[in-house]
Structure formats: C-alpha cells, structure tokens
Structure 1
Amino acid sequence: MNNGELDTYLRKRNENEWMVLRFPEEIHAAYEATIPQVNGTKTIPEQFLVPGEHFAFLKHPRYIATPEHRHEFLEVNFVYSGECRQVINGKSVILAAGEFCMMDSNVIHSIEKPGDNDIIINLLMSKRFLDIDVMKRLSGNDLMSEFLVNSIYRSQDHNDYIIFRSSANRNTRTYMEQALCEYLDPTVGSEEAMNCHIILLFTELMRDHKESNAFKRKGPTSRAPITQIIQYINDNYKHVTLHSLASQFNYHPNYLSSLLKSHFGYGLMIIVQDLKIKEATMLLKYTNMTIGEIAFEVGYSNITLFYNHFKERHIVTPLAYRKMNS
C-alpha cells in the first residue's frame, strides 16, 4: 500500500459509517451500550486488542460522537485530515491536521462527532507493547521515558496526556503513514517495520517538542534512575537477579522490588520473562535452531518452563508459532 492508496482507503466510508448515517439514533445507543462500566466509568478493556497483538491502528468512526470513557491501554490520536474535538479530563482540546494527542490509560475523554473530512487515526498500545525493550530504545529521551513509565505502568496515580502541535513536522506524519501502510497491508517484516516506525514517531515527537513549556522540569526531581535500570536489565536479562541488580544500583533488594512493581505493575521475574520470550520469538522466526537450543540461548535451563512461559505470551506453543510464521 502506498500513500495514495492509504488516502483513498481512509476517506472511503466503511460499513460502520454507512450504518451511522442510515440509523444514527439506533447506532449511537448501541455504541454506548457496548462500552462496559468499571467503577462508574465506561472503560474499554485491554482485551479489545486482538489476543497476541499488542498494538492496533483504527480509523475513528465518523458521524458519531464517542461518549465519555477511558482505556486500559495507551491511546495516541492522530488527525490525518480535518480536526478532532475532544474533552479530556474536563478540558476542551482541539487537534488540527497533523497533530497528535497521547493519553495514558486513566484519562477520561470524549470525542465530538467528526465530519466527513475529519479523519482521525487511533493508535492503541498495550502495556506489553510498551515493555522494557521499547523503553530501553527510548531511554535516551528522559521526557518520553518518564511519561510512558508513569502514565502506563503507574496509571492508577496518573491521568496525564500530551498534546503535540506537530502539523509543521513532516517526519511525524511520514512515520505514522508508513506504520499505517504496513498495518493495513502486511507483508514480510511488517511487524518489525511497524515497531521501528512507532519508535521513530515517538522520538520525533519528543525531539520536536522538548523545548515547549509542557515538558520543562520544574525544580529537582526525586525520580529513581528508572531508565538506567531499564537499560541494565535489557543488557543482562539472561542472568540478572534481583540481588545482582540491587547491588549494581546500591539498592536494598526489597526496595528495588517495590520500585519495579510500582513502575511496571510486576516484578523483575516477569520483566525478564518477557524479554526472554521476545528474543525467542525472533529466533523461532528467523533461525533453524531447535526449540531446546532457543530455550537455552535465551536463558532457560528448564525447557518445560520455557514452553509454559511462551504459551502464556503467545497462546500457542513455540513449534506452532514457528509454523505460523515460517
């Protein structure tokens, strides 16, 4: 898919939009009824994403207002054309074409009814996509890292959002459009390409806005060096232990364990497990190594444990995953 084909696809009315135009009141009532209530607020669960996938691109439906709600995942809104009018945490926000809004998983927002030319793309990302490997790639950008760590992994304490007035930055639009083309028309290497485009997009957004008032630090920060810890775990995940990590950063193991859980929602064992399984999926796709060799290579001495952890992450066994991706 090229950019011209993408433009045609996005501007064409899909089945849902035709239904809204035909039966606006019925569709609006059904739309509201499909969003479950959690603690008194309409909440779209992480299960909204396809099992085994950790991010998705969706064209926001035109001609219908979206009621007040929140997500259990991070959402990035991109205005492809026209505008997007939202109310975020009680504040009116208008995005123009080429602009982005990044919201954490505890933000309550609603979207006014988009018109025919108001094409809005929603990038939805699970916590597992924004894992320690992605965080490590962004560790050189403390502003982005801090926002993602706090907003995603400590979402009970934060309900932040960032507006990126990036309409003049062609690179941000290019990275978003390239990722969209890969997602809508996948081919060999599309998953890896999408990951790279998203990382480039995030980096470009923060580079473009790092001097704005929204990101200037106010006073000293007591934030733990979480990006340094992330990088160390990423570099040593095959053999790192809680005690060796604590020793590296001069922390008591109990304090470090609490620090990791407060930021990521789970401890070192799960973080390391995710990194091992991520490398295993790459080896299954691109090498002829046996399952046992792969398990040993990523740091497992118990192949049964490797099988169990792999199925928890990908639902299928390593062998089935290899056949599906061969």
Structure 2
Amino acid sequence: MNGDELRSFLLTNNTKQATEWDAIKKAFNPETVEINGEQVYVFDMIFDLTVTPIEDPIGISQQLPTAYVPMHIHHYIELIYVYQGQCTIVMQNGKMTISEGEIIIIDKRTPHAVEGISESDIVIDIKLKHDYLSSSFLSRFTHKSIISQFLVDSLINNRRVNNYLHFPFENRSNIAGIMEHIMCEYFEKDFCSADMINSYLFILFTELIRHSNNSNSIKPVDTKQDDIVLEFLKYIEDHYKDCSLTKMASHYNYHPNYASSVLKKATGKSFKDLLQIQRLNKAALYLTNSDLPVAEIAEKVGYTSLSFFYKKFNDIFLQTPKEYRENKL
C-alpha cells in the first residue's frame, strides 16, 4: 500500500456505517468505573464488532463519522491523529479541537470521548499496548544529549500533570509522512510489517521529542525560564571542553548563583554534574566511533587528569572505558 492507496482506503472507510452504541454495549458488556465523580466505561478494544480486543502491540482504527462512544477509559495509551479535517476531544475538564496534522496522546485511565467528526474528517486512533512514553523507553533517546534528557523529563512531567500531551503539528510536518508509513504497514500487512511499525513508532516519538520544546501546548507554564534552561544546556553541549559556570553565566549576563539555581531546579542536577555527563557522553562517542587512545579521548573532552576521567566514566557507565569500547564492538 502506498500513500495514494491509503487515502483511497481511508476515504472509502469513512462512508461505512459505524456499529450502534447499543450493539457495542450488548456485545462487549463494558464495565463502568467512577473517576472524579463521573461514571465512565472501560474499553480496551477497537469499537468495531468485527475486530477483537487488542492482541498486537498496537491497534489502529478509523474513527467513523457516525460512531458514538460516551466517556470512557483504556488501560492502554491512546494516540489520536487527525489525517484530514478536525475533531473534538472531550475531557473531564473541557473540550479541545485538534486539526489536520495534529496529535493528542491520552494517558491510561484518562476519561475522554471523541465527537464532531464530519464526513470530510478522517481521524485515526492508535492504541499502544507498550508504554512508549515511559522513562525506560524514552531513555533510549537521551543517551548522548543533556538537552534531549531535559526535554524528555519535561514531557514525562507534563504527561503526569495533565494526563495527555497535545502536539499541534501542521499537516506538512514530518509527522504526516511517518504516520502514513505506519498506517500503510498496518492496513496492508506484509513481511516484517510488525518490525517496520515498531521502527516507525520509534521515529515518531523521536520526532515528538525533537519538537516538544516548540509546542505551546506542552511547554511548562514558565516558558521564559524553560528557554533559559535550554540556552544553558546548549552552551554546555557546545563548550563542554573548557566550560565553566562563571563563563556560562557571564555569556548570558547572569550571576553564577542564579544560573546554578536555574539548572538545579529544572534538571535536578548541578552544573558540574551536567558538565560531567556531557563530557563523558562525548567520550563514549569517541570510544565507539574511533580508535583514539583513551588518554587522548580524555584530553579531547576536557579532562587533564586521566585517573579522574576513569573514575567519573566508571561512575556513569559502570565500566571502564576499555570495557565500554569492547562491549560496543
């Protein structure tokens, strides 16, 4: 299936008659639970009587214009993507309209419903059995960058507070192409389609993290403070070899104590800790991508004492530089 075939497939689907809500209730007999004083249904399936509850790592379906499902929750994370047009997401604290190219990720056990889909709107629903927004999964993105680690932590904290993440991408963003590939593989499965989908999902969440600091919907309330933190982290990444707190603070016309406090509050780490992490991450890259001697690598990343470099490297990676290089071969 290619992009044109996918569009034709989705347009044809949109003309189908959805299963009536009474039939869904009768077939699945969903239980209800009370959340924040409201009774909501519990569903871990696609709302189509021809589809069984999710057995694969993901389940993808199309929200039909004629479908109706009241407030409900899932035990899985749900990703809603507007392929064309728009739709309205109903949450317990209000409504949100998302438009073409945008994504909303709704956390587990978060009451919600989808409404306002017309015949010209195409809305895609993806239920994720694996938690692609867990700390353990997202740590795969952060191995060599203190900035990406900060963005991931911000993403996780925002999800924890709001129970959803909204990514207001435009339809011409990279997200559209990634989502198209995922749907093509899912709706017309071929050899290794499951592996392809998992790979595209990794790319998708990488793209979400890359753009998370550009989205007003997922920024912390103190946007100015967040921008300052990113500037500090960028400075450390760019000047890790000879960086100092005094130099960095002076570069931005701040007092060193203020810069130190901002970094500690935002990241939970001191300036020295962040500098060590960045230097050691660079050293790890040299170890895996060059034949340079360890002593030369230590010097290149800003260490004057080889024994101190060995100690700090072992503290972070729990192995010597030599062991790290051998294990990565």
Q: Same fold (TM over 0.5)?
A: yes
- The size of the alignment, in residue pairs, is 219
How far apart, in 2, do the equivalents of 1:117 and 1:107 lie? 28
- Secondary structure of the corresponding residue to residue 210 of structure 1: helix
Q: Which moved more, 1:141-150 or 1:36-45?
A: 141-150
Deviation for aligned residue 1:28: 2.7
Deviation for aligned residue 1:99: 0.9
AA aligned opposite 1:36:
E
Q: Is structure 2 residue 164 aligned with structure 1 residue 161?
A: yes
Q: Is structure 2 residue 192 aligned with structure 1 residue 189?
A: yes
Contact 1:90–1:109 under 8 Å retained in 2: no
Partner residue in 2 for 1:5: 5
- Secondary structure of the corresponding residue to residue 30 of structure 1: helix
Q: Indicate which of 21, 45, 60 corresponds to 1:28.
A: 21
Deviation for aligned residue 1:131: 6.6
Deviation for aligned residue 1:93: 0.6
Deviation for aligned residue 1:222: 7.4
Deviation for aligned residue 1:4: 0.7
AA aligned opposite 2:21:
H
Change in CA separation of 1:178 and 1:98 when aligned onto 2, cut-off 3 Å? same
Q: CA RMSD in A?
A: 3.5
Change in CA separation of 1:19 and 1:57 when aligned onto 2, cut-off 3 Å? closer
- Secondary structure of the corresponding residue to residue 18 of structure 1: coil
Contact 1:54–1:128 under 8 Å retained in 2: no
How far apart, in 2, do the equivalents of 1:61 and 1:121 lie? 9
Q: Is structure 2 residue 65 aligned with structure 1 residue 50?
A: no
Q: Indicate which of 107, 112, 117 corresponds to 1:114.
A: 117
Deviation for aligned residue 1:38: 2.8
Q: Indicate which of 57, 78, 82 corresponds to 1:79.
A: 82
Q: Percent identity?
A: 23
How far apart, in 2, do the equivalents of 1:30 and 1:143 lie? 47
TM alignment of 1:76-225, pairs within 5 A: 76-127=79-130, 134-139=137-142, 141-142=148-149, 145-146=152-153, 159-217=162-220, 218=222, 220-221=265-266
Deviation for aligned residue 1:221: 4.6
How far apart, in 1, do the equivalents of 2:65 and 2:31 lie? 21
Rg: which structure is higher? 2
Partner residue in 1 for 2:40: 41
Deviation for aligned residue 1:89: 2.8
Contact 1:138–1:199 under 8 Å retained in 2: no
Change in CA separation of 1:110 and 1:50 when aligned onto 2, cut-off 3 Å? closer
Contact 2:155–2:212 under 8 Å retained in 1: no
TM alignment of 1:253-264, pairs within 5 A: none
So what's the TM-score if we normalise by structure 1? 0.57
So what's the TM-score if we normalise by structure 2? 0.56
How far apart, in 1, do the equivalents of 2:71 and 2:94 lie? 12
- Secondary structure of the corresponding residue to residue 67 of structure 1: coil
How far apart, in 2, do the equivalents of 1:216 and 1:115 lie? 31
Deviation for aligned residue 1:147: 6.6
Contact 1:143–1:206 under 8 Å retained in 2: no
AA aligned opposite 1:42:
Y
Deviation for aligned residue 1:128: 5.7
Q: Which moved more, 1:182-191 or 1:94-103?
A: 182-191
Structure 1 unaligned runs (5+)?
21-26, 229-246, 250-326
Deviation for aligned residue 1:162: 1.6
- Secondary structure of the corresponding residue to residue 73 of structure 2: strand
Deviation for aligned residue 1:77: 0.5
Deviation for aligned residue 1:64: 2.4
Structure 2 unaligned runs (5+)?
47-51, 226-264, 270-276, 278-313, 317-329
Contact 1:74–1:105 under 8 Å retained in 2: yes
Contact 1:151–1:159 under 8 Å retained in 2: yes
Contact 1:81–1:118 under 8 Å retained in 2: yes
AA aligned opposite 2:174:
N
- Secondary structure of the corresponding residue to residue 59 of structure 1: strand
Contact 1:138–1:144 under 8 Å retained in 2: no
Q: Is structure 2 residue 21 aligned with structure 1 residue 18?
A: no
Deviation for aligned residue 1:223: 6.4
Contact 1:73–1:105 under 8 Å retained in 2: yes
How far apart, in 1, do the equivalents of 2:122 and 2:151 lie? 26
How far apart, in 2, do the equivalents of 1:216 and 1:110 lie? 24
Change in CA separation of 1:78 and 1:128 when aligned onto 2, cut-off 3 Å? closer
How far apart, in 2, do the equivalents of 1:192 and 1:223 lie? 36
How far apart, in 2, do the equivalents of 1:179 and 1:105 lie? 22
Contact 2:167–2:218 under 8 Å retained in 1: no
Deviation for aligned residue 1:209: 3.7
Deviation for aligned residue 1:66: 2.4
